[in-house]
Structure 1
Amino acid sequence: MNKKVSAFIAIALAAGTMVGCSSKSSSSASGDVEEGKVINIYSWNDEFRQRVEAVYPEVESTSKDGTVTTLKDGTEIHWIVNPNQDGVYQQKLDEALLKQDSAAADDKVDIFLSETDYVNKYSSKDAGAAMALKDLGIDPDKDLADQYEFTKVTASDEDGVQRGSTWQTCPGVLVYRRDIAKAVFGTDDPAAIAEKTKDWDTLKSTAKELQDKGYLTFASYADTFRLYGNNIKEPWVKAGETTINVGPEIMDWVKDSKEWLDAGYFNKTVKGQWTDDWNKAMGSKSNVFAFLFPAWGVDFVLKPNWDGDEGAWAVTTPPQEYNWGGSYIHGAEGTDNPEHVKDIIMALTGTKENLLKISKDYLDFTNTQSGMQEAAKDDSFTSDFLGGQNPFEQFAPVAENIEIAPLSAYDQGCVELIQNSFNDYLQGKVSFDKAKANFETAIKERYPEITEIKWPN
């Protein structure tokens, strides 16, 4: 480990919550090392497994319970899945990485995934967690040249060395109910609805129109958070510091959420995302007009919760450009399967034909610029779920304009806990100042090394 290890990593290691550093880099993908018989992949759901099964040509079969995928050469992929919420996934991954040097070959972490909210933690050169892609035999400048640049930057360390790769880009749009649009506005045409949703002031007027006809604009104030949070100008925690900086954009979200909630534009009983009430708000009996989702949200969240006919939804311009999410694939330092790791990363993120198949099968907005430009003009990429609309026409312009928010290793905790703390304020249970105090307490409990919280004026 670099002697100039950050305070975050040093303290977290002492607490047993951060990744361990391998004493030596794992073997490069030179072909002179015998591969192991088990590939351990850590993730938080089965999304990545589905994509591997869809496009990785070496897949033979997967067990009925989804825990083991067998490859054609007899190697087994073992899927170790833990929930992302409340930092559980990171905790379990960190515990495994701490044992990486001493673990038996078939118990070592080979591949792990991270989200944009905490990719910075694992891609840091001081973390000793994610291999440089070049050490796997992948040349990012050549092999991944067609990727969106912001995704390459996101998965790179402090020296600009890329240590992860993603099949996704996650430009966000507004997804709306066609029947509600027709009832209120007389049309469900995406171009016409875009004029109603193009910015926050316009959308506020539209929300009043919806309310007058008995409809809610969004299910929850939590639905709008990512648009504000993805546009912060400074990181939550600057490199090498232990101060949380709450951006003015975050407090704008609190202020606007209170205004919209009091006005009746949200469902007051839906207190956040990933809850049963939130899921039900996507159903056919709901009076919620719209959700704010990237492509994965349409396929992985909205579609399973919709209980009506296909073609009931469409996508259009959001009130503010944003990016939400992105699952980054990392080869773990100490892996005994570098050739397989390289092969999987390239199949999932560096092969245009595979990525286009993922886009067609799963509606993912995938990570080749040329591929997504083609998809936006290709009628074969229309979606039955979206009433025959080609959503890539809407996703592509957003993706081309994304400037990723400055990242820190603390993003997941800050994003979760700021919403949790101000949820009580928005629900009228605590005062504004008490919500601030509750956030300060909660964030220091999650990250004991934090010494100060700075609020905007």
Structure 2
Amino acid sequence: MTNLKKMLAGALCLCMAGSMLTACGSDSDSSSKKSGGDAATSDNGGSADLSGKDSKKVYNIYCWNDEFKSRFEKYYWDQRDQDLWDGVEVNWVINANEGNVYQTKLDEALKTQTTDDMKIDMFLVEADYALKYCNSDATMNIADIGLTDDDTANMYQYTKDVMTASDGSVKGVSWQATPGLFMYNAKYARDVLGTDDPAEVQEYVKDWDAFKETAQKMKDAGIYMVSGFDDTYRCFSNTVSSPWVDADGKITVDPQIKAWVDQTKEYTDAGYNNKTSLWDDDWKAGQKIDGKVFGYFFSTWGIPFTLLPNTLDTAVDDGGKEEVGNGGYGEWRATEGPQSYFWGGTWLCGCATSDNVEITKDIMLKMTCDTATMKAITEGEQDYTNNKAAIQELIDGGYTNPFLGGQDHLALLTEAADKIDLSNKLSAYDQGCNEKFQAAMKDYFLGNTASYDDALAAFKTEITNLYGNLTMD
């Protein structure tokens, strides 16, 4: 019961902080608080007044939410190298990802690195735009920072591939891996399929043919198989055979992306989804235990940041105090689903103009390479950490997840993570392409656009307006 209360309290905090708007964590306005020791304060996406300070005495970190900040404060600060940090202030500059604000602010700051006390020391990136920074002079090779092959030996290869520049150098590291699973409502599984056992339910979703057959069973029972248009998108977009944009700047729609369009149109017309869009209120409502949606495709962040808070029952008592009930806590399960995929992830990059490289090395070693720290983060935050040894120790130790009814989903995630292959599948424009394509297809799914070709033409207009240097047939 104590663990349940802790989980519910944590989830309520997440709900109060706001729903997650990106793949990993909730977006936030710029802010800064003490990280165990001295810290500067940022305002409205800028930096604190640090004029006159020695550049080496200010460690600037640029990011888009407080996910890494919270882990930095909880798992790094107390074990930091005290000598390196003697008198050094941490300045967190946080700008929301939404509307490309984070990248815009970061790019502006990277152009003005001549001001000593404002020099960026570390910044964070996501897979959808990682190559933009990998293939620039803004990032340092982790080997030059001081990380060795032995240091990163326990990391999943795909997490290195995401940050591999065209010259073969690795430009960033992550504390997390983000393989995806199919999370399903155990109550609906029992009611419709006669079982909620993950191994048995997997037979009903083992491939897309079986998935569609099960979708019809769910529809007959008044339940949507998935919530909306975007729910299966990452299963397809992150298993493509070629990148959105080739070396000549030409945009190509991979067959896997087209397969998502065909499937989603079919599911929409057949009534297998509820016509919701990612993150909207109806999409969230489907995650209640009586929300009439069978399942969602999520990476590991989907449990603590999304499913858990959205599953909870909230009410206001007679005294006006908000109360939280456990809702569907313990009534969700996870299984492999029809295919392996990943979704999200956050990488730490050392800025090339930093004069605090030794601190960057200390952070990277402790926060992404240390097995004990990685194990603690998985236990404390439900992150699937980017360390095979840490994950295996947890599995061998009988790890269970109470939100998933005591299931050990780490073993499933390990199988999925080993299958992820991102070699030659990323471009620097993935974030814009993914967002604009999904938006353009929504009118087609709803019948507001006559054909796929019309929706594709709308996408072409939007994406070439966004990226004037790209072309599309």
TM-score by length of 2: 0.82
**1:114 counterpart = 2:125:** yes
Q: Is the 8 A contact 2:85 2:359 kept in 1?
A: no
Q: Secondary structure at the match of 2:422?
A: coil
How many Å apart are 1:387 and its aligned residue?
1.0
Partners of 1:332 and 1:59 lie apart in 2 by 23
Q: Secondary structure at the match of 1:174?
A: strand
Q: Is the 8 A contact 2:55 2:119 kept in 1?
A: no
- 1:170 aligned residue: 178
Note the residue ranges of structure 2 that are not aligned, 5 or more in a row: 1-53, 313-326
**1:98 counterpart = 2:111:** yes
Q: Secondary structure at the match of 1:249?
A: helix
Q: What residue identity is the alignment partner of 1:173?
A: L
Q: Is the 8 A contact 1:59 1:72 kept in 2?
A: no
Q: Is the 8 A contact 1:377 1:393 kept in 2?
A: no
**1:83 counterpart = 2:96:** yes
More deviation, 295-304/320-329: 295-304
Q: Give runs of aligned pairs for residues 1-400 of structure 1, distance below 5 A.
A: 36-58=56-78, 73-100=86-113, 102-105=114-117, 107-124=118-135, 127-139=136-148, 141-239=149-247, 241-268=248-275, 270=276, 272-307=277-312, 308-379=327-398, 381-400=399-418
Q: What residue identity is the alignment partner of 2:298?
A: F
Q: Is the 8 A contact 1:58 1:72 kept in 2?
A: no
Q: What residue identity is the alignment partner of 1:78?
A: N
How many Å apart are 1:187 and its aligned residue?
1.4
How many Å apart are 1:121 and its aligned residue?
0.8
Q: Secondary structure at the match of 2:431?
A: helix
Q: Secondary structure at the match of 1:134?
A: helix
How many Å apart are 1:74 and its aligned residue?
4.3
Q: Secondary structure at the match of 2:56?
A: coil
Q: What residue identity is the alignment partner of 1:89?
A: Y
Q: 1:428 aligns with which of 447, 451, 455?
A: 447
How many Å apart are 1:72 and its aligned residue?
7.1
Q: Secondary structure at the match of 1:40?
A: strand
- 1:10 aligned residue: none
Q: What residue identity is the alignment partner of 2:94?
A: V
Aligned residues: 401
How many Å apart are 1:77 and its aligned residue?
2.0
Q: What residue identity is the alignment partner of 1:188?
A: D
The structure 1 segments of at least 4 consecutive aligned residues displaced by more than 6 Å after TM superposition are none
Q: Is the 8 A contact 1:111 1:331 kept in 2?
A: yes
How many Å apart are 1:339 and its aligned residue?
1.6
Q: Is the 8 A contact 1:86 1:413 kept in 2?
A: no
Partners of 1:453 and 1:199 lie apart in 2 by 32
- 2:19 aligned residue: none
How many Å apart are 1:103 and its aligned residue?
2.2
- 1:26 aligned residue: none
Q: Is the 8 A contact 2:180 2:416 kept in 1?
A: yes
- The structure-2 alpha-carbon separation of the partners of 1:431 and 1:86, relative to structure 1 and needing over 3 Å to count, comes to farther
- The structure-2 alpha-carbon separation of the partners of 1:59 and 1:144, relative to structure 1 and needing over 3 Å to count, comes to closer
Q: Secondary structure at the match of 1:421?
A: helix
Q: What whole-Å deviation, never above 9, does each CA across 1:397-444 have from its counterpart, x for those lacking one? A: 111111126111011111111000011111111122221111011001
Partners of 1:428 and 1:81 lie apart in 2 by 39
Partners of 1:304 and 1:340 lie apart in 2 by 35
How many Å apart are 1:219 and its aligned residue?
0.7
RMSD value over aligned CA atoms? 1.7
Partners of 1:343 and 1:287 lie apart in 2 by 48
Partners of 2:59 and 2:309 lie apart in 1 by 30
TM-score by length of 1: 0.84
How many Å apart are 1:275 and its aligned residue?
2.2
**1:409 counterpart = 2:428:** yes
